[in-house]
Amino acid sequence: MFSLQNKTAIITGGGSGIGKAMTLLFAKQGAKVHIIELDEKAATDTVNEIGVSASYHICNVTDQKQVIDTFNAIRQIDILVNNAGIAHIGKADTTSEADFDRVMNVNVKGVYNCLFAAIPLMKAKGGGVILNTASIAATVGITDRFAYSASKGAIYTMTLSVARDYLHDNIRCNSMSPARVHTPFVDGFIAKNYPGQEQEIFEKLSKSQPIGRMGTPDEVASLALYLCSDEAAFVTGCDYVIDGGFTRLNN
């Protein structure tokens, strides 16, 4: 089950965190994986860890021409995982225009650019699977995450639109909405914003999930594998929450 043998997958932001976990798992399950990254070291390290079944492309997802050229060079696309994204802390009246534009450019336009480039290639080959990384912030109020929440709300609804529009092209589209996942980004965020309080803040953030801990990248990757596999052939237009009970069990 859950074989990706003879499948070609593109994973944006596939060199670190959740993206890296997906890259490693998809390759293990037989896929030829193409990492789309700006961080060449992260991409190189991940490819070296996998071997010949992975390659990377330095590409800025906010640049449509770069994305189209990169995807056309890969050409064979069975699976697209739109995972690249950035975070931002701020409320509506503390988020600068520049920061708002930056978040939207990466998190929303970046996904649009990849969809724009990939869908014609999928249609030409008779179908494919698209998975977008959204967030619980798309549907739950999160303090100080105005621009980020707006961007992930867009991903949530873009997923529904794509799923509807390409039903008859044999293209499935779903999204995942993780809560807090323990990645190097989280450690860096805590170290930068709470120097000297790292352990205390880590425990506080962990316990904000009713299950009592953060998720792991591997757990999210396992959900991604299911949604991108043939076992999920009947699943489209869905958002899968993976949140340790955050959205339903917090009182």
Spatial separation of the C-alpha atoms in residues 74 and 111, rounded to whole Å: 17
148, 156, 166, 194: which one is catalytic? 148
Could you identify the residue written with the tokens 């503390």? 94
- 148 catalytic per annotation: yes
Helix (H) or strand (E) holding 221: helix 217-228
Strands 128-133 and 239-242: unpaired
Residue 247: how many CB atoms within 10 A of its CB?
14
- Per DSSP, the three-state class of 35 is strand
Listed residue (176, 250, 248, 178) closest to 215, CA to CA? 178
Catalytic residues: 148
